[in-house]
Structure 1
Amino acid sequence: MPSGQEPFFRNVFGAQSRAVTMPRVAPVLRWARTGTDILQMRDGESYLAEFAAGKGKVYVFSAPLARPYSDFTEHALFVPVMYRLAMLSYRNEHLPAYRLTQPIVNLQLPEQLATAKGSAEDEASIRLVKDSLVLIPTQRRQGSQVRVELPAGMDAPGFYQVQRAGKVLTTLALNADKAESELAAYSADELRRLIGPNHPNIRVVESAADAAGLRALQAEQTGTPLWRYWVLLALLALLAEVLLVRFGRRGNGVPVRTPVAA
């Protein structure tokens, strides 16, 4: 039976009035004692162990959860163990992207910055930097966690660097609200109902039902385009000038008389 003093199982177990039957397992893996044992078998080998991997943690079972290898999934320990694994993973999760509409973003400070003690000004020195834009959000530090409130006027999506004391802690990808990508459109009847009778200057024209009316309305709003005619006239003028230059010299020549000696 695991100890209730183990940090992984803290506040999980209540008072034990009798011995608890533990699950049966048939391990297929064994490893060196390099991690932290969470659940052990009777012979001292580890069944569930925790290993450090970079900034995160990896949890390894020595036996599959399939029925031929273990009845752990049918035991009362299964739910609290999986719940703790999920919660520990959730606390350390750094989302690939956030929304500009969400009010708070939780950030994990690096260990050297989390343990460092500074002035009040240094505590509130987290800045969000995007190109030449620098924002100082409202923030609250709780141990190694920092709760950053996105400013109300922050409406430009993009990549924001989280800087503290001139050092880049991480980069946040902030996207616009999902409503911006809404592709639903109003029908013609819905538009007429939204406009109502109080806007006589607004007219709803359906291209499929009234194509002729749509062309007439377009001609009324934009007029008749004359630029094609002006381009044609300019080309004709250039052609006339070329013809005059090419064939007009023959009739304009002056006869030259050669003097003859007497």
Structure 2
Amino acid sequence: MVYFSNTAVLRSIQQENAKTRKLKYLVTLLLRCLFIAALVLAFAFPYHPEKQLNVNTENNLVGVYIDNSMSMKGQSQRTTLIKDARQSARDLVHKLNPSNRYLLMTNSFEIQNEYPMNQEEMLDQLDRMNPDGAPAPMGEVVDRFEMLAKQHGFETSTLFVYSDFQSNTFDLSAAKADTAMQVVVVPMTPEFKTNLYVDSVWLASPVVQPGLTNDLYVRIVNQGDKEVKGLPVTFTMNGAMAASTTVDLEKNGTQDIVMQFVVEGSGDQRCSVSLNDHPIIFDDTYDFVLGVRPSLSVIELGSEATSCALLFDDDEQFRYTLMEPSRFDLDQLSKAQFIIVNENTNLNETLQQTLLNCVADGAAMLVFPSKNDPKNNAFLMSKLGLTVMELDTNATVAQDLALRHEFFSDVILDMPQQADLPKVKKHIRMRSNGIPSSLLVLQNGDAMLYSETVGQGQAFVMTTALDPKWSDLADHSLFVPMMVKMALLGGQLGKLSYTIGQDKIMVLNDMNLEGDHRFLFANADRSFEQMPASEVRNGKVYLYLNDNLPAAGFYDLLVNDTLNRVTAWNESRVESRMDFVDRDDIEAQFKKAGFDVAAVLDTSDFANADLVEAMAHQSSQWKLFALIALLALLGEILVLRFWK
């Protein structure tokens, strides 16, 4: 037994321990209560009551925008993005007050949808909605909705935006935000973000010649994180196989391939380059039309013929005509593929401007200097970037050819170092403004042949004449291939293909403008027909397409019920790139542009909850309470573990 002289110390220690345990108990209890309260509030999904939607208020227009561009046909977890968007929109309309007024917006901007509808009409239009449309900038969509809401007299409006928000089309920089409009964003996320597609095609030579081998260039793009080996690519012409090959693609890579083919016959050839890829298939095929002419029209302007007549007059490939400038035929000139202004002519300014217009429309033109006056046709030269200086009578010889220029790419295959080039006795000295290219240069440094692009065509200027007193060019071996190449450059037809949603105007340069014309645009089985508005201006016919075409493919242009030409149309490849804006950036960009973003929701929110509950689930305040609950739990653990 141990005896203490004073027990007061023990009583004091016991009292202090009791106080500490009581305080520890109270702190633990408070932390546990805070944990439970914060957890309950977190699962209650609190939100700001001032962020209520205007959907069920009076004089408010409810707009539903469904992006019906081709990328929305991508695969979702259940079906496709556009089908999910349409079903979600139906769920939304069902849940809202039946007295609401609705507006349906798509990329097609269809007039029948741009008036306030009741609930039943809105559901019917959603079922009838065109699933195919060209891409439209987001700023244009919201501006149009704001304009329609004001036009119909609504004080406020709410726009639900269903889109996959591709980076290429999500642009709000030019949009004008209206404070009376709310935006509810519903991002559609594709299941797969990979795509293989045919981007474009082009010809190695601008003219396709029947019976000869031609080269077609095709660009294939891989929008994916995996390499592709041995992808089959096929080229068909009028439904028959013309060529095939395989291609290897690196991840997120691009590859240009060459496909060789031979055309038999003339006229418009319906061609397609295709590959197989799923689930995005709208860009797997690229349609285009190859125009093969039976012969090319060559017109020589002059009072008398030159050596050009001997070259072109007896060749079945060409239709040669000698035309006197004083009696020129404008219609015949506008249809010519190659126009030669020889040395025996002097043109007035009106005819010179007419020739420039023909070149701008796709013809090729070769101008020789006038033997009578070097400064004749000075207006034409000035428009081509050349100034006529003086006549040089010093004999010289051609020295340099611009062999790297595309003009000589298939004219001269191999040239020896000491090649015999044309000899020149007289030539016109000219000063260039730097734009025309010098294709052939004389020994004294002056240019013998200039080349200049004018619009869709090509203009050539020779500084010496074909007369033997000027040069031996007409007898030189270089003369024939150069002249034929110039004629072929002017023989190209219009565009290989057009893009739906972008090309709204077609320009016809080679039509007989006499009499009345009735134009009809139709597909092969005539299930689609459109009569475009037309206008004749500056010797050309302009056709204005009123509506977007229903699908990619081939469409016939009929003039007075007679087939005039075949055209090919493709969907825009803007939609082919698998680059999307994420949810946070979507909301941030809308807010930066000044829009009131009420919520960013998922399509499932409209099927499983009312809008208030959906917005509450999208609020970020639950994260704050969840964090508080975790901190309270951590504090309780620390108290119990370290408070002795």
The TM tier, using the shorter chain, reads 0.3 to 0.5
TM-score by length of 2: 0.21
Q: Which has the larger radius of gyration?
A: 1
Structure having greater relative contact order (Cα 8 Å, sep ≥ 6)? 2
Q: Which of the two has greater strand per residue?
A: 2
TM-score by length of 1: 0.45
